[in-house]
Amino acid sequence: MTDLHTHILPGMDDGSRNVGESKRLIAMEQEQGVTDIVLTPHYYRWYEEPESFFIRRGASWDKLRGQIGGGGPAFHLGAEVAWFPSLAGFPALEKLCIGHSGQFLLELPFERWNSKLMDKLYGLTCSTGLTPVIAHVERYIGIQRKELIDELVDLGLPLQMNADSLLKMGQRGKCLKLLRRGRWYLASDCHRFDSRPPRMAEALQYLRGRAGDIEPLTD
């Protein structure tokens, strides 16, 4: 099982604070059956040049892998890329992809979407040859207009849902409706062991108990 969205790299963003916490999160993931962990620290174009980000990410990864032994999950470097209008022409975009997959995790803005954003999303893959995986789509319910969320799902891009969203009573019904359309990845979006920990196993168990519901991809 792959966890496509994590903030486990220490000291990179609002996720893990240190190597010890990262190791604890990795142990939690492994206990839940996760075999592959994608490391996706936040990348904000308006905040940091890509070269600086890659240096920080590399140093954090070197620090972490020096403290973890073999026999655990496999790790893959990536990023959670925050949307910006000139994304399609960004020279460093391929380096922000998950390994050599040609896919990158994309966080859309929480400001109001419009048809121009959908048009740019539609053309992004054609112009770059890369595929955005849209992060935590369920978080936009109630913020964005329903017709634009429907349009996003209908674009055919891979979509990602947070595991803990399925475990919250006020959200699970809306999440299940979303899962019946499109191609979905379930991921933890874990940050810290005491705040937003990984809950992959719990979410999968819940889904398997829902007869007739579509189970999202975890591999």
Buried residues in 25-34 as b, exposed as e (16+ CB within 10 A)? bbebbeebeb
Is residue 215 included in any domain, yes or no? no
Q: What is the pTM of this model?
A: 0.94
Residue 126 in any domain: the answer is: yes
Say whether pLDDT at 58 is over 60.
yes
Q: 66-70, 74-78, 79-83, 133-137: which range is least confident on average?
A: 66-70
The CATH number assigned to the domain holding 135 equals: 3.20.20.140
Number of structural domains in the chain: 1
Residue 219 included in any domain: no
Burial profile 156-171: b = 16 or more Cβ within 10 angstroms, e = fewer: ebbbbbbbbbbeeeeb
Is position 155 within any domain?
yes
Instruction: Note the pLDDT of residue 161.
Output: 97
Give the per-residue pLDDT at 211: 52
Domain that residue 155 falls in: 2-208
What percent of the chain stands above pLDDT 90? 84
Mean pLDDT of the chain: 93
